[in-house]
């Protein structure tokens, strides 16, 4: 699969409102004190951890890792272009490990390996928070081919959730909800930029056809709730 580069680039996921609400959600799950050491796996442009560091001024800069190095990665964090498992083998310890909208890129065996390494990398009372799209009644606006690809991906996610539950065992679940209100033109641009993994392997012809479908299907302002399932593990 091609690398996902635009999921947090000029999307609602990169908006100040989204980042603010997401960080409030994190605060309700984690004690965000200055000594907290954070690792963000699949950080993209590091919008989340950068915003947290600006507000809480952690003694240790948050670390973000990704297999893609974007040009506009935030400067107030430590970024490493590296695979998650390779980085976790370096014996660094963290109080919070974030894995946000990333698990669907892992094969089953690699996911198990990642979880085992993440557990070993936690400080006492440390937490792993895994975020992934809600698999049932998902509201992401789609054209027909995009919907088919997304449903296939979400079914695979359900299998991965079972692996996570079996591996981590003592976990809790909750949802993060964000109400999206976006212009149709901006959403069309996001589709053109292939902002979500179910678009990555589609041809330009398929994308163009899909955009026509979106334009005829939705009003000028597209409103829906973007819901992430949050799985929380505490050491």
Cα separation, 16 vs 22, in Å, equals 10
Which of the following CATH numbers is that of domain 12-234: 3.40.640.10, 3.90.440.10, 3.40.50.720, 3.40.50.150? 3.40.50.150
Q: In this predicted structure, what is the pLDDT of residue 230?
A: 97
Distance CA 199, CA 150 (A): 9
d(CA 233, CA 212): 43
223 forms beta bridges with 181
- Mean pLDDT in order along the chain per 10 residues (235 residues): 78 95 96 96 96 97 95 95 94 95 91 96 96 94 97 95 95 97 97 96 96 97 97 95
Global model pTM greater than 0.85: yes
Instruction: Specify whether the CB–CB gap between 79 and 69 falls below 8 A.
Output: yes
Domain ranges of the chain: 12-234
State the Cα–Cα distance between residues 57 and 176, nearest whole angstrom.
Answer: 24
pLDDT (0 to 100) of residue 2: 62
């Amino acid at each position: 699969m091609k690398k996902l580069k635009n999921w947090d680039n000029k999307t609602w996921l990169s908006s100040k409102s989204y980042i603010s609400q997401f960080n409030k959600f994190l605060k309700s799950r984690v004690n965000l004190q200055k000594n907290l050491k954070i690792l963000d796996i699949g950080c993209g442009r590091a919008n989340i951890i950068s915003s947290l560091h600006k507000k809480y001024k952690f003694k240790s800069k948050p670390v973000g890792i990704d297999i893609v190095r974007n040009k506009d990665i935030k400067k107030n964090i430590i970024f490493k272009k590296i695979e998650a498992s390779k980085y976790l083998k370096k014996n660094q310890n963290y109080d919070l490990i974030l894995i946000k909208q990333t698990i669907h890129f892992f094969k089953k065996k690699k996911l198990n390996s990642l979880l085992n390494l993440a557990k070993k990398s936690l400080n006492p009372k440390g937490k792993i928070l895994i975020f992934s799209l809600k698999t049932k009644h998902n509201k992401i606006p789609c054209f027909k081919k995009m919907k088919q690809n997304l449903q296939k991906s979400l079914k695979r996610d359900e299998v991965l959730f079972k692996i996570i539950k079996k591996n981590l065992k003592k976990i809790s679940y909750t949802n993060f909800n964000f109400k999206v209100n976006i212009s149709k033109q901006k959403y069309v641009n996001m589709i053109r930029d292939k902002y979500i993994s179910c678009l990555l392997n589609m041809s330009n012809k398929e994308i163009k056809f899909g955009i026509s479908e979106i334009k005829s299907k939705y009003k000028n302002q597209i409103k829906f709730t973007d819901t992430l399932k949050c799985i929380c593990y505490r050491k």
